[in-house]
Amino acid sequence: MPFYTLQDVGRFFLNPLFPVFFIGLILLFKKERTRLNLLFLLLYLYGVSIPYTSQIVMSRWAVADTVDRHSRYDAAVVLGGMVDYKWYVRHAAENEEEIFKYVSDYQQLGQSSARILMGAAAIKSGLADTLLLSDVSIKGVHETRILLDLLERQGIDPQKIAVHGKVRHTLAEAKSVKAYCESKGIKRILLITSANHMRRAAALFRKQGLSPDLLSVSRDNRPITRDSFVPSGDGLEDTYWMFYEMVGYTAYLIQGKL
């Protein structure tokens, strides 16, 4: 039986199409269905399925970078969630060693792959002395082991890489980085993550008493065109990630963790 985390359940309900089926079901059993109800449903469906919605909202949600490229940081912290673990699960047996056999030949990264590439660039350019990774394992796929193999192929000196702690979410990463930096005397850190995720990540790190400079990757710089107003699967996916970040930020805020 597959193991489902609270995040998995939350992601199900954050699907932009979920309200459509829920509201549609209500309308189906409702004795009186007005045109206004149907119009509202269609407008909602259109709004969540066009790229324009997330383009506008997330451009305002993103925070400005504060990285000083003429300085040198003690460590560059790259947040986890970069490996396409579903690919490994699909292409390998349930045995963990069978999954790992893919590591020596190929690293399948997900939509957040720019994080680790920017981290590698920060080390190569001398922007940071150490690359900090968290110990991440999702559904039997050990992300950190895959990333370490990738970094080796990128020519990164293993002595410049440190793995700080086993985590499952950004709050745990912030706490683990805090503990690691205190134990190693690390003062100046550069936080690297996706632009959409940076507002929540930076707030969590600051809540722990850390003051990282920020370097965002994967900013959506697409121009607004006619295609931005055409419903598509990409539009739905963009809306999903918009919901994910905004709901996640709000949840942490309500819990007093930001």
DSSP 50-113: SHHHHHHHHHHHS------TTS-EEEEEE-S--B-HHHHHHHS-SSHHHHHTTTTT---B-TTT
Q: What amino acid occupies position 223?
A: P
- Segment 187-213, tens digit of pLDDT: 999 999 999 999 999 999 999 999 999
168: its two tokens: 């499952």
Residue 228 near residue 111 (C-beta atoms within 8 A): no
Side-chain half-sphere of 82: how many Cα atoms within 13 Å? 27
Q: What is the mean pLDDT of residues 233-237?
A: 93
| Residue 129, φ and ψ in degrees, nearest 5 | -80, -35
Q: Helix, strand, or coil here: 187?
A: coil
Domains of the chain: 6-62+233-254 (no CATH), 73-217 (3.40.50.620)
Nearest to 165 by CA among 136, 188, 131: 136
- Segment 72-114, tens digit of pLDDT: 999 999 999 888 877 777 766 555 555 555 544 567 788 888 9
Burial of 115 (0-12, 13-18, 19+ CB in 10 A): buried
The percentage of residues in the chain with a pLDDT greater than 70, rounded to a whole number, is: 88
CA dist., res. 225 & res. 179, Å (int): 46
- Check the CA dihedral 84-90-94-99 and report its sign: negative
CA torsion 9→166→176→170, rounded to 10°? -20
Mean pLDDT taken over the chain: 87
At 84 the pLDDT is 83
Most confident of 26-40, 107-121, 124-138, 139-153: 124-138
CA dist., res. 42 & res. 37, Å (int): 9
Chain centre to alpha carbon of residue 62:
13
Q: Is the pTM of this model over 0.75?
A: yes
Residue 46 near residue 231 (C-beta atoms within 8 A): yes
Residue 30 near residue 214 (C-beta atoms within 8 A): no
Q: What is the mean pLDDT of residues 107-136?
A: 92
